[in-house]
DNA sequence: GTTAGCTTCGTGAACGTTCACGTTCGTAGA
DNA sequence: TCTACGAACGTGAACGTTCACGAAGCTAAC
């Protein structure tokens, strides 16, 4: 008679049921279950055995209520399907687990949900949130009240903490490398309908250069790339696609057809760059001889592609570590919410493999 | 004075603090916060405003205690770095969220932790667990007591539910395809030190065929492949590697050097298959002309490789759906724990792209 | 003026656990 | 015999909510 097949599924057993069955008090059961001293060993064993038989599981709610909050952290992720995010999440989960925190995860990439929806869903169950929210920092922090929110890759707004990336530095690295290798017809493939931080109307640049179909520049990454390209007076074109490899492949295919003179492509992220590599192969272009391709993110996937992808790489484990340590400081009171110490900026480095 | 920068971080405000500040009772605050009827609209607004100012957040413990358990599901994952698992997790998270469940995730791939460690870590905080445990079904179910455990790709043991894959069918599909395309020197690359279900000593086959370095066959997938290869009397060799693309690349490199006659390679999973593709390119082999490569899993990555990877594909969203629906039935009492209805078997299909 | 009924709000109890004490019992030392 | 003390175990209170009631107060109908 296993504990699984026996019981009435009705009411779960409480500590009182175990106490009654063992003929002892609540407190003795507590002592037995939690390895506390002041209990005879034979009693402890008897109680534990009985608890097992009754299928007793201590209520996490009662326990939390009396012992004070264990730390539970929400993790809001736009899309687990993009390898960037699991790599980041993996690091966060590892370090959080090491601290004894639990991670409650929400992938809001389905069903038209937003980063704010994710935070709303997580809020009742967590003491803090870390997440790529795509532009809801203020509202999300409001939903969390005093509990710290750490936003990544987004204007911090009212968020307690933030981790950002220096896209100007990154864009300079990539653009200058393309120019130094004599690429003169450069294209930038931006993500559209992006969950990534948008440009606000006031800092959106109406003077974007010529483009090949699609809508305008819509990400801060794109803005940084555009700025750098303009700065060094290089002619360039803009294309956009949804943030998937497939969409990027189609868009880049059109680019290579419309503008065969293109000899360098900068791409919003590595996943889309993989699509561009495919499109180049489709078009019979040799990479990097005919056209260089540079991605962004530094996901492990890049090394497996053919040719291996050159990219503006982030150390994703480092990003996760920064987020967790920042949250740690915030929770411990060592870092003041919204202070400069709570605003981190990380840099990309240019990893040259085969594609550029 | 934002709510973030003001408060003493000492004691979080309770419902009584808000009630006192508003000059009303607990219950009125409850009504205001939870959108319940029977409260004047002006009172509701005043209370909500006050709650916001005080940084009041309802205690999830007190709430859970009185309202009964909201469903919180643990998700134990061996390695978020392998694209297989995020794809699966994404599906689970989506469907769980749709049901209003939360997902508490643990990636136990770091620091020498096991699937059992993951369950132990999750157990105090969840009502059920879904996971790839790598052989701890019995102990994990014991740790969970009456709460359902759903194990994937593992001998169910005492677990309430399980989802398995018909590797014999899958192996037949792949092996027969290789034979039909006249591959006569086939190699199988197995994962060693795997977190995947091991062969027990009694069903481990001591008569494995010749091998190229490494240890013996150690996964049920490998067993199925070996059985099918033996069944159709095809000479074959076995190699093993750690479950990463890099290790697979090295191992396959050695294979192509030692046994250049190899004209077909079956690989434990797609990630390792990506490494094999790299090794083939390193060795100057054309795929599939000189050597065919077939992976296993059907992760999206496969389509981005060059050549595109042929694979024994699982519909990973379907796997996630099966797990969530099975758990749903278990929690609702519609499916009996440990019953046949709680043991699902899914099948692979052979997706032929370019590599075979 | 009485009654009924609605709206608005308050109070005891309960959820299941742990904490901080108490109590009981037995044993050893004087 | 009395006292002291430790081991083993028990009891009231508290954690912060919501639920099920009950109590006001006001309005409207007769």
pLDDT tens for A39-52 read 999 999 999 999 99
Is B286 within 8 Å of chain A by CB? no
Give the pLDDT of residue B193: 62
Residue B49 CB contacts under 8 Å (≥ 6 apart), including other chains: none
Question: Does the pLDDT of residue A214 top 90, yes or no?
Answer: no
Is B171 within 8 Å of chain A by CB? no
A/B interface, count of CB pairs below 8 Å: 197
Residues of A in contact with B125 (CB under 8 A): 60, 70, 72, 102
Torsion of CA A190, A191, A196, A197, to 10 degrees: 40
Domains of chain A: 3-66 (1.10.260.40), 71-165+316-347 (3.40.50.2300), 167-313 (3.40.50.2300)
Give the pLDDT of residue B8: 43
Question: Does the pLDDT of residue A20 top 50, yes or no?
Answer: yes
What is the full DSSP assignment across B112-180? Answer: T--HHHHHHHHGGG-SEEEE--SS-HHHHHHHHTTS-EEEESS--TT-SEEEEE-HHHHHHHHHHHHHH
Is A12 within 8 Å of chain B by CB? yes
Question: CA at B130, C1' at D7: how many angstroms apart?
Answer: 43
Residues A30 and A48 sit within 8 Å (Cβ to Cβ): no
Residues of A in contact with B249 (CB under 8 A): none
Is A141 within 8 Å of chain B by CB? yes
| CA pair distance A318, A324, nearest whole angstrom | 10
Q: What integer is the mean pLDDT of A319-343? A: 96
Locate A23 and state its tokens. Answer: 């003929």
Closest nucleotide to A15: CA versus each C1': C16
Give the pLDDT of residue A199: 46
Is A281 within 8 Å of chain B by CB? yes
- Number of C-beta neighbours around residue A80 at 10 A: 26
| CA pair distance B297, B170, nearest whole angstrom | 11
| CA pair distance B287, B306, nearest whole angstrom | 9
Residue B87 and residue A81: Cβ atoms within 8 Å? Answer: yes
- The low-confidence residues of chain B, meaning pLDDT below 50, are 1-8, 194-215
Question: Does the pLDDT of residue A116 top 90, yes or no?
Answer: yes
More confident residue, A218 or B30: B30
Question: CA at A28, C1' at D27: how many angstroms apart?
Answer: 58
Residues A147 and A125 sit within 8 Å (Cβ to Cβ): no
| CA pair distance B123, B142, nearest whole angstrom | 11
Residue B80 and residue A57: Cβ atoms within 8 Å? Answer: no
Residue B60 and residue A125: Cβ atoms within 8 Å? Answer: yes
Confidence tier at A216 by pLDDT (50, 70, 90): low
CA distance B320 to chain A (A): 13
Question: Does the pLDDT of residue A241 top 70, yes or no?
Answer: yes
Lowest mean pLDDT among A108-112, A151-155, A341-345: A108-112
What are the angstrom distances between the C-alpha of A165 and each of A146, A155, A316, A317? 26, 11, 12, 14
Give the pLDDT of residue A207: 39
Question: CA at B22, C1' at D27: how many angstroms apart?
Answer: 27
Nearest CA among B124, B150, B82 for reference residue B328: B150
Is A216 within 8 Å of chain B by CB? no
Residue B104 and residue A105: Cβ atoms within 8 Å? Answer: yes
Residue B63 and residue A124: Cβ atoms within 8 Å? Answer: yes
Residue B107 and residue A93: Cβ atoms within 8 Å? Answer: yes
Q: Which of A6, A87, A102 is the best substitution to test chain B (most B C-beta atoms within 10 A)?
A: A102
**Please, what is the average pLDDT of chain A?**
89
What are the angstrom distances between the C-alpha of A320 and each of A95, A123, A188, B80, B112? 8, 21, 28, 13, 20
* Candidates A65, A90, A336; nearest CB to B59: A65
| CA pair distance A274, A306, nearest whole angstrom | 9
What are B173-197's pLDDT values in tens digits? Answer: 999 999 999 999 999 999 986 444 4
* Candidates A83, A87, A333; nearest CB to B9: A333
Kindly list the protein residues whose beta carbon lies within 7 Å of any strand D atom: A 23-28, 38-40, 43, 62, 65-66; B 11-12, 14-16, 26-27, 29-30, 33-34, 56-59, 61-63, 65-67
| CA pair distance A112, B221, nearest whole angstrom | 38
């Amino acid at each position: 008679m296993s504990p699984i097949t026996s019981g009435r599924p009705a009411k779960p057993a409480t500590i009182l049921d175990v106490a009654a069955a063992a003929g002892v008090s609540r407190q003795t059961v507590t002592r037995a279950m939690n390895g506390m001293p002041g209990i005879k060993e034979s009693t402890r064993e008897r109680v534990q055995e009985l608890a097992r038989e009754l299928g007793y599981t201590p209520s996490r709610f009662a326990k939390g209520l009396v012992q004070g909050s264990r730390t539970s952290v929400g993790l809001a992720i736009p899309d687990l399907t993009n390898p960037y995010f699991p790599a980041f999440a993996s690091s966060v989960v590892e370090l959080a687990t090491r601290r004894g925190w639990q991670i409650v995860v929400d992938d809001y990439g389905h069903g038209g949900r937003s980063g704010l929806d994710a935070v709303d869903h997580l809020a009742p169950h967590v003491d803090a949130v870390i997440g790529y929210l795509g532009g809801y920092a203020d509202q999300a922090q409001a939903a969390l009240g005093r509990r710290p929110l750490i936003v990544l890759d987004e204007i911090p707004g009212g968020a307690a903490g933030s981790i950002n990336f220096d896209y100007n530095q990154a864009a300079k690295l990539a653009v200058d490398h393309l120019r130094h290798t004599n690429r003169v017809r450069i294209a930038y493939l931006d993500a559209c309908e992006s969950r990534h931080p948008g440009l606000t109307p006031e800092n959106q640049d109406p003077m974007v250069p010529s483009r090949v179909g699609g809508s305008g520049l819509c990400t801060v990454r794109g803005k940084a790339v555009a700025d750098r390209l303009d700065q060094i007076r290089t002619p360039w074109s803009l294309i956009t696609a949804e943030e998937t490899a497939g969409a990027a492949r189609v868009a880049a295919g059109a680019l290579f057809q419309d503008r065969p003179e293109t000899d360098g492509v900068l791409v919003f992220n590595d996943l889309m760059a993989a699509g561009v590599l495919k499109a180049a192969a489709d078009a019979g272009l040799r990479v990097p001889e005919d056209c260089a391709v540079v991605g962004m993110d530094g996901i492990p996937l890049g090394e497996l592609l053919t040719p291996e992808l050159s990219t503006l790489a982030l150390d994703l484990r480092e990003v996760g570590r920064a987020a967790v340590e920042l949250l740690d400081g915030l929770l411990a009171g060592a870092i003041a919410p919204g202070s400069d110490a709570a605003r981190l900026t990380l840099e990309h480095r240019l990893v040259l493999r085969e594609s550029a």
